Structure 1
Amino acid sequence: MAYGRHESFYLRNKWISKGLKHVNNMPTFFYEKDNFEKIGLGKNMVRSLRFWLMALNLIYEDNKTHKLTPLGEVIFEKDRLLEKQSTKAILHSELLNNLGDTATVFNWFFVDFKETIITKVELKTIFKAWVEIREPKAVSDKSLDRDIDVLIQLYTKEADENDPEDSIFSPFTSLQLIKEERMGNSSDVIRKSAIKYDKEDLVAFYYTLIKYANKEKVEFIQLDEILEHSELWGKTFNISKNEAIDILNKLTLDRDYPLEYVRTNNLDNVKVPQIEALEFLKVKL
């Protein structure tokens, strides 16, 4: 597990586009002494950007160079500005997968943490207690506090409506997975909520389903699995059973890759088309 590698910076708007562009043009970019001048960010922000690109499974490191992952290549080509809600939702799901064990707090909050409403103070206390049980060495309170702060900012930092040039908001805010309510002098309240998505764009839901089927080498997935597995919709997108059923019914009508949703003997099964997740994304994103 890892903590604080974001340098206390949440992901900013346009960072993904800038980062992928520079890595694509210069694989040694993050090892260049003047990289912060080339990209127009502070030195700590450049380190934070490298963390985000790797935590989101968009780049990987190889012998002091960085290269776009297959997912990074697709998003760089199709939607590097993250204009589609589905792209943001896919990257959110990748963050929770926590490849390389570098983004512990995000997986913990959405997958392991059961509460849907809590104060920020209580959230920090519970996270610290969880880490203390699992880590053989002590982790500083400041680092864990910053992890919770960045978690909340990543999903709640909005653009300034009065400033059309504002670029310090987070692209993940539009997912509305976390809501922060100000409570005056008392601690802020944090709410976990269902993902906001375009009902005509279900690519993120289908992608995570196909990716899971590829990984597990299965053709059928049960509805309960979709709701309870750490990599699927209930945990990742915080949606209810009724919402999941509604989405599945719509996916049976997909023109390119209709899935089969079979409800028999009180056992709901989904038959997933046999296609690689990235090939699906190249067609649908």
Structure 2
Amino acid sequence: MSERDYEVFSGHESFACRYGWLPKLHEALLDDPELFGDDDDAIVTLGIGKNMVRSIRFWGDAFGLTQADGKRIVPTEFGSALLDQKKGLDPYLESNASLWRLHWKITTSANLGAWTSAFLDLPDTEILKEAFLKAVQGKAVSARGTITSGTVAQHVDVFLRTYDAGRASASAVVEEGLGCPLQELGLLEVADFGANPVIRFRRGPKPDIDVATIAFAVADFWRLVAPNSLSLSFRSLMVDRRSPGTVFRLDEASMHRALEDLTGAVRGLSLREDGAGGVDLIRTQQMTLNRLEDVAWQ
């Protein structure tokens, strides 16, 4: 699991990632890795405006789907495994399980200020929007020394439009109204109470997180925190920063069921009581983390 070493609060050009953008970007870069070397060519190829071109470029990196290779922009290993037309798991992002993977990548690796504030730093299930803005502003000031309130407000608005289907403007054009695919996950909503909107996060079961997606997240987390260890505690998987329980907003019962399903699918992986009232996820010496990744992409 890689991560930018700096906080990001802009670059999306005020656009949330839209339906169809990521598969379109992947195919365009396979045809022309130097596509973004000329704005006019990118505008024509992608069929979107100049600011949207910059935005789609931003989201490709943020979701871990693209990376720079000199002057070229190429799909990452993750991007190809997910979106390749012939061998990819889900080239058109038709499955919510694939969207959970994208949520995992952008939350754990992109280091976007609003995402880390919401999903990694905030333990509560709801927060006043005003308080959330202040939290992101504080993070931005710590990271950059200074930032305008307008930049923070725009960044938070893009974050909310990424996940909350209710944020689409009534006057938006049709494409704008289509929203972002991550709205399908139902992770949060903004409840408007006059001058005090509340952001509510949904913690609990996520039935569309399948065994392969849990294997993907657990393998990534295990490599980050303890690549040479043969065990991870349930508590670590549940509450640690960048853990599956934290990023996916699972409750304990849902996490336990997910791990039971995972151990049933992977030979050499088991759940065992730790002798102190807790549970550990254990792998045998022969079961490498590569096996989890095989299950994630099979």
With the length of structure 1 as denominator, give the TM-score of the two structures: 0.88
CA contact (8 A) 1:59 1:66 kept: yes
Counterparts of residues 91-102 of structure 1 (less than 5 Å): 91-99=102-110, 101=111
CA contact (8 A) 1:95 1:107 kept: no
Counterparts of residues 193-204 of structure 1 (less than 5 Å): 193-194=202-203, 197-198=206-207, 201-204=210-213
Residue 53 in structure 1 maps to residue 60 in structure 2:
yes
Partner of 1:27: 33
- RMSD between aligned alpha carbons? 2.3
CA contact (8 A) 1:60 1:69 kept: yes
Q: Which amino acid letter does the alignment assign opposite residue 21 of structure 1?
A: E
Partner of 2:3: none
CA contact (8 A) 2:107 2:247 kept: yes
CA contact (8 A) 1:86 1:197 kept: no
- 1:68/1:279 Cα in 2 relative to 1: closer, same or farther (>3 Å)? farther
* Mapped partners of 2:205, 2:75: distance in 1: 28
- 1:233/1:190 Cα in 2 relative to 1: closer, same or farther (>3 Å)? same
Shift of 1:257: 4.8
Q: Which amino acid letter does the alignment assign opposite residue 187 of structure 1?
A: N
The one of 168, 171, 175 equivalent to 2:178 is: 168
The one of 139, 148, 152 equivalent to 2:160 is: 152
Shift of 1:253: 2.0
Deviates more, 1:17-26 or 1:242-251: 242-251
Could you report, residue by residue, the CA deviation over 1:112-167 in whole angstroms, capped at 9, with x for unpaired residues? 123321222232123213333x135211111111111111110013699xxxx857
Partner of 2:4: none
Counterparts of residues 241-256 of structure 1 (less than 5 Å): 241-254=252-265
Alignment: residue pair count: 274
Counterparts of residues 51-200 of structure 1 (less than 5 Å): 51-76=58-83, 77-99=88-110, 101=111, 103-132=112-141, 134-157=142-165, 168-183=178-193, 185-194=194-203, 197-198=206-207
Partner of 1:219: 230
Shift of 1:80: 2.5
| Structure 1 consecutive aligned stretches of length 4 or more whose deviation exceeds 6 Å | none
* Mapped partners of 2:208, 2:46: distance in 1: 36
Residue 274 in structure 1 maps to residue 274 in structure 2:
no
Q: Secondary structure at the match of 2:280?
A: strand
* Mapped partners of 2:215, 2:282: distance in 1: 12
- 1:196/1:31 Cα in 2 relative to 1: closer, same or farther (>3 Å)? farther
- 1:96/1:191 Cα in 2 relative to 1: closer, same or farther (>3 Å)? same
Residue 42 in structure 1 maps to residue 49 in structure 2:
yes
- 1:196/1:247 Cα in 2 relative to 1: closer, same or farther (>3 Å)? closer
With the length of structure 2 as denominator, give the TM-score of the two structures: 0.84
Could you report, residue by residue, the CA deviation over 1:39-81 in whole angstroms, capped at 9, with x for unpaired residues? 1111111111111110111110011111111100101122122
Deviates more, 1:193-202 or 1:168-177: 193-202
- 1:26/1:13 Cα in 2 relative to 1: closer, same or farther (>3 Å)? same
Shift of 1:227: 1.1
Q: Which amino acid letter does the alignment assign opposite residue 120 of structure 1?
A: K
- 1:257/1:24 Cα in 2 relative to 1: closer, same or farther (>3 Å)? farther
Identify unmatched segments of 5+ residues in structure 2.
1-6
CA contact (8 A) 1:180 1:190 kept: yes
- 1:278/1:246 Cα in 2 relative to 1: closer, same or farther (>3 Å)? closer
Shift of 1:199: 5.5
Q: Secondary structure at the match of 1:253?
A: helix
